[in-house]
Amino acid sequence: MTAQSRPLGDGATSPSTSRPASNGEARVWIVLPTYNERDNLEPMVVRLLEVIPEARILVVDDGSPDGTGALVDAIAARDQRVSGLHRVAKQGLGAAYRAAFENLLRRSDCDVVVQMDCDFSHDPADVPRLVAALEPDVGLVLGSRYVPGGATPGWNFGRRTISRGGSQFARSVLGLPFRDLTGGFKAWRADLLRSIDLASAETQGYGFQVEMTWRAYRRGAQIREVPIVFSERRAGQSKMSRKIIAEALVMVLRLRLGSAAWPRATGSTGLGEGQRDGIGLVRGTGGVAVDDLAAAVVLNPDAPRGGRLATHRAGEPEAGT
């Protein structure tokens, strides 16, 4: 697999090139994986930079035959906030995100990574909400279709059943307390991503979304769900297939079978920040004992629309169940 990083418009060519934070705010990178998204790309970039102008955008193009990659380069030449990561062929959503994360995590100007689709099924206007939900003790925010306030307008019964069923299957098999595990609209703290062994995440398709949330959860990260409305793509064709769905189901079972050897961080390991224990857990909490941290934060499904948060700790019953 070959991935090439396109220089930023300001001439920066090294992934370690730094940019000072403005006003002490988190430095945000938005990752857009693309394959034949030429019609959507420029409107998406324009809209994102309207709603969060201080962000930077990394477009990961898998050799799109429709010329999306060339358009990325043209946009990057005009705006230094945009850059491209060019891959030689379509190799799956998970592989695209891994390449992007590895590229960004080598940089010193990356505090937050937002991942989203380029087809407007994820509303660019929601990006500031997801970033704002990354409070100091929260490592991952999930844009959720299945908490109060979330929705999937225009979906037929079959599509809604497959999507909800996939999330419920993963919840049940992996013991995760989150409502939407298959969605791809997320905001990560870069430090949490750095603690995850990306090379060991082998899922190529949409199962990557489930796998990465599971890996963050197993590290004791606080994870929050916020409601989003998932819309139909504006242009182009969906990349979903039966093969991708089957891969995701198999991946969930594999994770469950291997989870006994990787217990969730539920108690103090006595580690300082950045240290590693015998089962490979990385502490990034500044020395705070894991058992003093909430395991996850989810919207209470029984709360009123836009209502209160509920905290879930490992070993306790799930919130809202």
- C-alpha 4/C-alpha 303 separation (Å) is 47
What confidence score (pLDDT) does residue 279 get?
28
In a domain, 320, yes or no: no
In a domain, 319, yes or no: no
**272 pLDDT above the threshold of 80:** no
**19 pLDDT above the threshold of 60:** no
**178 pLDDT above the threshold of 70:** yes
In a domain, 203, yes or no: yes
Strand ranges across the sheet with 223-227: 3-5, 82-87, 56-61, 28-34, 112-115, 186-189, 140-144, 223-227
Dihedral of the alpha carbons of 97, 99, 102, 108, in degrees to the nearest 10: -90
**99 pLDDT above the threshold of 90:** yes
What confidence score (pLDDT) does residue 108 get?
93
Per-residue model confidence as pLDDT tens digits over 204-262 = 767 888 899 999 998 999 999 999 999 865 554 554 456 656 655 666 666 666 654 44
What confidence score (pLDDT) does residue 287 get?
35
What pLDDT band is residue 316 in, cutting at 50, 70 and 90? very low
**94 pLDDT above the threshold of 70:** yes
Angle 142-34-92 (CA atoms, 0-180°, nearest 5)? 80
In a domain, 96, yes or no: yes
What confidence score (pLDDT) does residue 299 get?
33
**315 pLDDT above the threshold of 50:** no
In a domain, 318, yes or no: no
What confidence score (pLDDT) does residue 248 get?
56
**How distant, in Å, are the alpha carbons of 79, 240, 284 from that of 143?**
28, 19, 23
In a domain, 63, yes or no: yes
Reference 104, options 48, 188, 41, 38; nearest CA is 188
Query: Could you give the number of structural domains in the chain?
Result: 1
Out of 99-103, 218-222, 246-250, 268-272, pick the least confident: 268-272
Largest Cα–Cα distance of the chain, in whole Å? 53
Tell me which residue range forms the domain holding 226: 3-312
Residue 245, CA atoms < 13 Å, CB-side half-sphere = 11
In a domain, 317, yes or no: no
- C-alpha 319/C-alpha 189 separation (Å) is 23
What confidence score (pLDDT) does residue 201 get?
80
Dihedral of the alpha carbons of 199, 59, 47, 147, in degrees to the nearest 10: -20
Mean pLDDT of 297-301: 33
**50 pLDDT above the threshold of 50:** yes
Which tops the pLDDT comparison, 95 or 72?
Answer: 72
Q: What is the CATH number of the domain that holds 180?
A: 3.90.550.10
What confidence score (pLDDT) does residue 172 get?
78
Which tops the pLDDT comparison, 18 or 125?
Answer: 125
- C-alpha 89/C-alpha 35 separation (Å) is 9
Reference 204, options 250, 160, 169; nearest CA is 250
Mean pLDDT of 271-298: 32
Per DSSP, the three-state class of 18 is coil
Per-residue model confidence as pLDDT tens digits over 118-161 = 999 999 999 999 999 999 999 999 999 999 999 999 888 877 87
What pLDDT band is residue 186 in, cutting at 50, 70 and 90? very high
Out of 22-36, 198-212, 274-288, pick the least confident: 274-288
Mean pLDDT of 29-54: 97
What confidence score (pLDDT) does residue 23 get?
35
Which tops the pLDDT comparison, 78 or 12?
Answer: 78
